[in-house]
Amino acid sequence: MPPELAPDQLLRWYIDAGADETIGEVAMDRFQAQPPPRPVPVAVAAAPSPDRPAPPRPAAGPAVIVPTGGTAAHIAAECHDLEQLRLAMEAFDGLPLKKTALSTVFADGNPEAKVMCIGEAPGQEEDRQGRPFVGRSGKLLDRMLASIGLDRSSAYITNVLPWRPLDNRKPTPDEVAVCLPFVTRHIELVDPQVLILFGGASASALLARHEGIMRLRGHWHDFSSPGLPRPLPAMATFHPAYLLRTPAAKREAWRDLLAVWKRLNQVT
């Protein structure tokens, strides 16, 4: 008969033997125990047949625009000077991309100038500084204006969109449509003698045309608005960012600027 072990010795013996569980207070006959119920099978979508492609997932795009606090057209119409317009645009919450922008890029230059330059949207550097046309594109714009005797003290500069789209993507038609009343009111309040529209998005939005910049540039167009006493002559040309990528187009841009210079001399 084996010697009787103390409780602690017996426990140590079981641990050394590899036992790591204890039994309950009541004995259980596991041969008589009922097996656990089987889990209810969950329906799994069948894999698409090679002959039938799976339906495409909806593509993720810019956030849906839900204007709040009044539409841009109503808000812009209530602005009677540039400061009111600037404050209204800073308070506007009807465009989702504003939430991702650092700044409301309003304008730069002289609001009393004869020439108003309008680009498409701020880039990363413009968003950081809160001024339109800075960085490489801005430096090229300064040189373009200087070629016809202008600078930021004799020109007024803004964009169709005052907020930078993420990753510098092209503004969507909906985003342009939301901001159009703001830039239109901006033009009405400045009332320049000549407009220069830089880039296809700016030109097609303000001229209500569907042609690309290649067809719109090099010709005089009329910009009309109920808040203007007369139509304004508008010249569309290439955006400085495009000219940085395509230096060969600078010759056409120079011709466009030369036409602006001649027009200014006529109205002076």
The count of domains in the chain is 1
Q: How far apart are CA 238 and CA 256, in angstroms?
A: 9
Instruction: For residue 132, tell me if it sits in a domain.
Output: yes
The 10 Å Cβ neighbour count of residue 200 is: 22
Residue 131 sits in a domain whose CATH number is: 3.40.470.10
Q: How far apart are CA 196 and CA 194, in angstroms?
A: 7
Range of the domain at 109: 72-267
pLDDT value at position 143? 98
Q: How far apart are CA 10 and CA 40, in angstroms?
A: 44
Q: What is the mean pLDDT of each run of 10 residues along the chain (268 residues)?
A: 56 52 52 54 48 46 45 96 98 94 98 98 96 96 98 98 92 94 98 98 96 96 96 98 97 98 84
Structure pTM? 0.74
Q: Are 137 and 123 in contact (CB under 8 A)?
A: yes
Instruction: For residue 126, tell me if it sits in a domain.
Output: yes
Instruction: For residue 105, tell me if it sits in a domain.
Output: yes
Residue listed under structure tokens 């010697």: 3
Instruction: For residue 111, tell me if it sits in a domain.
Output: yes
pLDDT value at position 10? 52
Kindly state the greatest CA–CA separation across the chain. Answer: 126
pLDDT value at position 59? 43
Q: Which two tokens stand for residue 104?
A: 């409301």
Rg (CA), the chain: 34
Q: Which residues contact 63 (CB under 8 A, 6 or more apart)?
A: 96, 97
Q: Where are the beta strands (DSSP E) in 154-252?
A: 155-159, 194-198, 220-223, 232-237
Strand (E) or helix (H) holding 201 = helix 200-207
| Closest of 224, 220, 214, 227 to residue 266, by C-alpha | 220
